[in-house]
Amino acid sequence: MVSRDTFNVWIAVYMMASRRHGTLYTGVTAKLPARVHQHREGLVPGFTRTYGLKRLVWYESFERITYAIHREKQIKKYRREWKINLIERDNPFWDDLYPSLFALPLTEPLPLIDLPPNWPLEEP
């Protein structure tokens, strides 16, 4: 049965790193924030826990899991240098992108409103 929980679905290919130019892991998931949390906390035994990969350094979102799986397979075939270039194109300092997954999207600033000169700035 296919999950219809569209609120929690975030299909993505992602890369975790131990540090800048450190060990890399490429993965695919349908729930990016939850999966990265698992890596960061070492909740699942495996490569990322063994090598201490806790930093989300790159991800690419998809609408279909089949597209994401195809992209993951492509990336895994590429040499390390190509992966580093992919990361540094969007994240040159290898910042941890995990907190940005929860940030509100930026919008244009609200327009300034011209107030009358005698408009009270504070309540009496």
Please give the average per-residue pLDDT across 48-62, as a whole number: 96
User: Is beta strand 55-61 parallel, antiparallel or unpaired with respect to 24-29?
Assistant: unpaired
Say what the pLDDT of residue 103 is. Answer: 78
* Contact (Cβ atoms closer than 8 angstroms) between residue 42 and residue 25: no
User: Token pair of 108, please?
Assistant: 């244009």
H or E segment to which residue 29 belongs: strand 24-29
pTM: 0.79
The CATH classification of domain 12-102, taken from the options 3.30.70.120, 3.40.50.300, 3.50.50.60, 3.40.1440.10: 3.40.1440.10
- Of 65, 84, 66, give the one whose Cα is nearest residue 75: 84
Say what the pLDDT of residue 124 is. Answer: 47
Map out the domains of the chain as residue ranges. Answer: 12-102
Say what the pLDDT of residue 2 is. Answer: 47
Q: How far apart are CA 2 and CA 91, in angstroms?
A: 34
Q: What is the pLDDT of residues 74-107, one digit of tens each?
A: 999 999 999 999 999 999 999 999 999 887 555 5
**What backbone torsions phi and psi does residue 45 show, to the nearest 5 degrees?**
-65, 145
1-10, 48-57, 63-72, 103-112: least confident range: 103-112
- 15: Cβ contacts below 8 Å, ≥ 6 apart: 24, 25, 26, 27, 56, 57, 58, 59, 75, 83, 86, 87
